[in-house]
Amino acid sequence: MVEFFPELRLGWLNGWLLLGLLVVVDGVAFLALPKRSVARLFDRSGWRRSQIVSTVIGKLLGAVVVLIIVFTPLRLGSTPFSVGATFVGVGLVVLTKALLDFANTAPDRPVTRGAYRVTRHPQNLASSLVILGCTIAIGSWLALILFVVARVFLHANLVAEEEVCLREYGDAYRAYMKQVPRYIAPSNWGTRF
């Protein structure tokens, strides 16, 4: 059963269990990755003010989604739980692969292999799949709607990252942008998406 606003309460079998898997994968990756790779993941230099503001709004909305997930009981054995858990599993596999691809690319070159051949932002896509899966698994329309709105605001984050990569890698990144979509879409959609 899916509800607009689920009952929120503390519990051991809440959505935090699935969300915790994302925290573990990210935490292990950040500890295992070279410090230069981690620093590259969080570099916000060169962003415009509007991109920063939009990203902050998206992250605040995302924090509300996380709170809903953390305090909503899972409906183990239900169809929404099974579908959501599948999204979480796929997202975690893609995230792990994307982080390894990122770490194994020299800092003076754009990351263009592995998961980065499918989308220019596989880490973002993978994390979004995990959080989307969590919203489905807890059966909350409110969390799902807030997640989608947060992703709209966080689009500015992706554009900002691409602008930084264009300045840093020039023609190599421009050629990459022509070959690989921002999101998963047919390649002839170009850089519009």
**Within-domain flag for 84:** yes
CA distance 136 to 85: 8
Question: Which pairs with CB-CB distance under 8 Å and at least 24 residues apart come from 156-161?
Answer: 156/50, 156/51, 156/54, 156/55, 156/58, 157/51, 157/54, 157/55, 157/58, 157/124, 158/120, 158/121, 158/124, 158/182, 159/51, 160/44, 160/46, 160/47, 160/48, 160/51, 160/52, 160/55, 161/121
Q: Report yes or no: 16 and 69 within 8 Å, Cβ to Cβ.
A: yes
Each residue's pLDDT expressed in tens, for the chain with a length of 193 residues: 667 777 878 888 888 888 888 888 888 877 777 676 666 666 677 788 888 888 889 999 999 999 999 999 988 888 989 999 999 999 999 999 998 888 888 888 888 888 899 999 999 999 999 999 999 999 899 999 999 999 999 988 888 888 888 888 899 999 999 989 888 755 444 444 3
**Within-domain flag for 85:** yes
**Within-domain flag for 3:** no
**Within-domain flag for 80:** yes
Q: What total number of domains does the chain contain?
A: 1
**Within-domain flag for 10:** no
Token pair 């959080």 is found at 131
| H helical segments located in 33-140 | 35-41, 49-70, 79-103, 122-138
**Within-domain flag for 4:** no
CA distance 88 to 18: 7
**Within-domain flag for 7:** no
Q: Which domain, by its residues, includes 110?
A: 16-192
**Within-domain flag for 25:** yes
The pTM of this model reads 0.84
Domain CATH number, residue 53: 1.20.120.1630
CA distance 158 to 171: 18
**Coil vs helix vs strand at 31:** helix
